[in-house]
Structure 1
Amino acid sequence: MRATLRWAHADLRTHRGEALFIVLATTGIVASLLLATALFGYATNPWQRVFTQSQGAHVWIHTGPSADARELSEVDGVTSVTGPYPTAAATVESRGTRASVELRGIVGRPSTGRPLLTSGRWLDPAAPDGVVLESSLARALWAEPGDTLSVPGTARTLTVLGVADSAEPRYSPGERPGLVWALPSAVRDTDGRGGQVTGLRLTDPGDTDYAVQRAVTLLGAGAVTDVSHWQQARSEAQGGNRLLGQVLGLFGLGALVAAALAVHGAIGTRIRGHLRDISVLKAIGFTPGQVVRIFLLQHVAFALLGAVLATVLIQALGSRVPGRLGDAVGVWQGLPGHTAALLAVPVAAVLFIAATTGLAAWRAGQVPPVPGL
C-alpha cells in the first residue's frame, strides 16, 4: 500500500497538468448537470416555481360574508394567514368570450399568497375600475393590459391593468371561476353573490387534510362554501408538463452518458501514455490488481474533488449567474427535493466515472511487464 501511494504521489507531481485537466473536466461536467437539473425543475414545474416565489397558501377557504375568518390563525400548524378578502361572483366578457370569475378585493400585495405580475401593473386607487387577471383567465379571454372587460347585463366596464400568476387552482370553464383581483370598492359595487376568502400557509404541507378539518370545525360547516388546497392546484398544473419532463429527462440521461464517455476517453488516453511506467511497475513486482487499484483510486479521487468543487460553486454562485439561468438556480434552491438532487447528481457522475475508469484501469492491468517492440 505504501508503494502504491508513493507511486501515485510521484505520478501526480510529474503529470500535474493532466491531473488538473481531469479535475476541471469533472467540475465542468457536474456543474453542467446541476445547471441542467435546475433548468429541468424550472421548466417542467412552473406551479412549484410560482408557489415558492409567491409564498403561496396551502389552503384557501371560502366562507360567507358573516363568518369570522380571523379565528383561523389559531388553527394548529398554521404559520401565516392572508385575508380575509371580500369576494363576489360575476361574469365578464372580452372579444365575444365570456367567463365566470371571482372578484377578490385586495389592497397591495400580501407577503403570503402574493400574485406575481407577468405584465402590466398592479391595482391603483386612481383607477377604481382597474383589475388584474390571473394568467390562465387572461389567456382564455385573450385579454392583456389596457383591454376593457364588459359585465353582461350591466353598463359597467372593467379595465385590465395587469396579468399575474397565482399558485391557486386555474380557471376551468364550467368548473372553476377565474380569479380577478380588484379594489374592495369595486367588489362591493358588484351585484354578484358575496363572500370572503382566507389563505392558510402551513408548517407541514402534509397535514393539509387535518388543517382543513380543524378550520371547518372552528368556523362551522355551514359557514364554509368551498375549500381548495395546494395538492389540487399542483396536479392540475402539472398535467400538461409530463411529456416535456420526460423529454428533458431523456436528454439529461444522454448528457450524463456522453460526459462519462468523454471522461473515459480522457482517462484511457492518459493510461495509454503510461504504458512504459506500467511495464516498469509490473517488472518490479506490482500485480495486475495493484495496477488497477492505483489508477482507479487516483481517478476516483480526481472525480470526487471535481464533483465537490462543482457542487460548492453551483450552490454558492449559481443564483448570481445573470439571466434566466441564474433565476432558474435561485428558484431551484428553494424547491422541495433540491438537497436530494444536489447530492444525487454528483454521486451519479462520480459512479459513472468510476465505472468507466475501472474498465480503462482493467486494460492497464493487462499490460505485459516488458513492452513489445
Structure 2
Amino acid sequence: MRATLRWAHADLRTHRGEALFIVLATAGIVASLLLAAALFGYATNPWQRVFTQSRGAHVWIHTGASTDAARLARLGGVESVSGPYRTASASVESQGARASVELRGVSGGPSTTGRPLLASGRWLDPATPDGVVLERGLARALWAEPGDTLTLPGTARTVTVLGTAESAEPGYSAGERPGLVWAPPSVVQRTEGRSGQVVGLRLADPDDTDYVVQRAVTTLGAGAVTQVSHWQQARAEAQGGNRLLGQVLGLFGLGALLAAALAVYGAIDTRIRGHLRDISVLKAIGFTPGQVVRSFLVQHLAYALLGASVATALIQILGSRVPGRLGDAVGVWQGLPGHTAALFGVPAAAVLFIGAMTGLAAWRAGRVPSVPVLRAAA
C-alpha cells in the first residue's frame, strides 16, 4: 500500500495539469447535476415552491360567521395562524366568462403565514376601495388581468382587478370549487352572498394534520365547521398535471449522468493509455495487476471526491446568489423537503459512476504486459 501511495504521489507531482482537469471536470458534472435537480424540483413541483415561499398553512378551516375561530390558535401543535378572515360567496363575470368565487376580506398587507405570492400587478390599496386580487387560476379562467373590471351578476356593482397572486390552497375548479378573491373588508361586507370565516393553521408537524383537524372540530363544534381543506389534498391536485413532465425530465437527467460517466471514462482511459510505459515498468519491478488497478482506482476516486465536494459546497453556498431564474430555483430547492437527500445523493451517485468507469479503465491497465518493448523486439 505504501508503494501504491508513493507512486500516486509521484504521478500527481508529474501530471498536475491532468489531475486538475479531472477534478474540474468532476466538479462541473456534479454542479450541473445539482443545478438540474434544483430546476427539476422548481419546474415539476410548483405547489411545493409556492407553499415554501408563502409559509403556507397546512389546514384551512371554514366556519360560520359567528364562530370564535381565533380559539384555534391555542391548539397544541399549531405553530402559527393566518386569519381569521371574513368571507362571502359571490359570482363574478368578465368578458362573458362567469365563475363562483369566495371573497376573502383582508386588511393591510399579506399575513406572514399563508400569504399570497403576488404574480402580477399590485396588492390591495386603500386608495382603491373596490380593488381586488385574484387567485392566478381564477384569473386565467376569467381571462382577467390587472386593470380589468369584473361585474357581480344581478347587481350594479363592479370591482377592479389590481393584481393576481399564487396560493398554496386548492385552486379554482369550475363547478366544483370556487375561486379565491382577496378583497377589502368593505367589499366583503357589502356582498349579499353567504358569509362566514376562514382560518389557516400552520402546524409544527405536518404529519399531525388529521389529529389537529379532529381537535379543531371538537373545539369549535361539528355544526360550526362548514369545510376543511388540507395540504395533502392541494398537493395531490397540483402535482397531477406534472407527472409526465417529471418523468421526462428525470429521463433526461439519467441520460446526462450516463453521458457524463462515459465522458469521464474516455478521459481516464486516454490518460491510462498515455501511461502504458510507466505501467509496464511498474509491473517489471514487482507490481501485481491488482496493485496497478488499485493505484489508478484510488487515485481517480480521490480526484472525484475532491471535485464532487467542491461542487456541492459551491452550489450550497453560492447557488442561490446566481442572478435570474436559476438562482431562484436553487433558493427554493434548498427549502424543499428532499433537498438534503438530493444534495448528498447526486454527488454520491456521480462518484460511484465515475468509480465504476475508472475501475473498468484500470482493469484494462492491469492487463498491460510488463516491458512490452522487449516482447515486441523478441
Query: After TM superposition, is the score higher than 0.5?
Result: yes
Task: Measure, in 2, the Cα distance between the counterparts of 1:242 and 1:267.
Answer: 37
The residue aligned with 2:104 is: 104
Aligned to 1:366: 367
Specify the SS of the correspondent of 2:24. helix
**1:367: Cα distance to partner?**
0.2
1:209 alignment counterpart: 210
Distance 1:212 1:281 in 2: 72
Stretches of 4+ aligned residues off by more than 3 angstroms? none
1:355 aligns with 2:356: yes
Q: 1:56 aligns to what SS in structure 2?
A: coil
1:153 aligns with 2:173: no
Report the TM-score when normalising by structure 2.
Answer: 0.98
1:167 is the counterpart of 2:168: yes
Matches within 5 A, 1:182-201: 182-201=183-202
Separation in structure 2 between the aligned mates of residue 310 and residue 4 of structure 1, nearest angstrom: 28
Deviations 1:208-245 (A, max 9, x none): 10010111111111000000000000011111101110
Aligned pair 1:346/2:325, yes or no? no
Residue in 2 aligned with 1:247? 248
Provide the residue aligned with 2:90 in structure 1: 90
**Partner deviation per Cα, 1:256-311 (whole Å, 9 max, x = no partner):** 00000000000001101110000000000100000000000100110001001100
Aligned twin of 2:266: 265
Q: After alignment, is 66-75 or 339-348 more displaced? A: 66-75
Offset at 1:121? 0.5
SS of the equivalent of 2:37 reads helix
Residue identity (%): 82
Whole-angstrom distance in 2 between the partners of 1:124 and 1:314:
39
User: Which residue identity is paired with 1:127?
Assistant: T
Counterpart amino acid of residue 300 in structure 1? L
> RMSD between aligned alpha carbons?
0.6
> Per the alignment, in what secondary structure is the counterpart of residue 372 of structure 2?
coil
Quote the Cα distance in structure 2 between the aligned partners of 1:73 and 1:122: 26
Alignment of 1:49-128 (within 5 A): 49-107=49-107, 108-128=109-129
**1:187-228 alpha-carbon deviations (Å, 9 max, x no partner):** 000000100000000011111100101111111110000000
Instruction: Say whether 1:285 aligns with 2:286.
Output: yes
The aligned length equals 373
- Unaligned runs of 5+ residues in structure 2 are none
Residues 98-134 of structure 1 show CA distances to partners (whole Å, capped at 9, x for unaligned) of 1000000001210001101111110011111110000
Partner of 2:139: 138
Deviations 1:132-161 (A, max 9, x none): 000000000010001111101000001100
Deviation at 1:370, TM superposition (A): 1.4
Q: Distance in 2 between matches of 1:297 and 1:221?
A: 66
For residue 47 of structure 1, what is the amino acid of its counterpart?
W
Aligned position for 2:327: 326
- Distance in 2 separating the partners of 1:114 and 1:368: 70
- What does residue 16 of structure 2 align with? 16
Map residues 9-48 of structure 1 onto 2, 5 A cutoff. 9-48=9-48
SS in 1 for 2:163: strand
Do structure 1's residue 5 and structure 2's residue 5 form an aligned pair?
yes
Give the match for residue 313 of structure 2. Answer: 312
The separation in 1 between residues aligned to 2:289 and 2:95, in whole angstroms, is 79
String of CA shifts for 1:39-69, please: whole Å, max 9, x gaps: 0000000000000000100000000011111
User: Which letter maps to 2:63?
Assistant: T
Q: Which runs of 5+ in 1 are unaligned?
A: none
Query: Post-superposition shift, 1:76?
Result: 1.2
Query: Matched residues in 2 for 1:141 and 1:240: separation?
Result: 21
CA distance in 2, matches of 1:118, 1:57: 19
Give 2:130's aligned residue.
129
Partners of 1:326 and 1:57 in 2: how far apart?
Answer: 25
Deviation at 1:166, TM superposition (A): 0.3
TM-score (norm. length: structure 1) = 0.99
Amino acid at match of 1:117: L
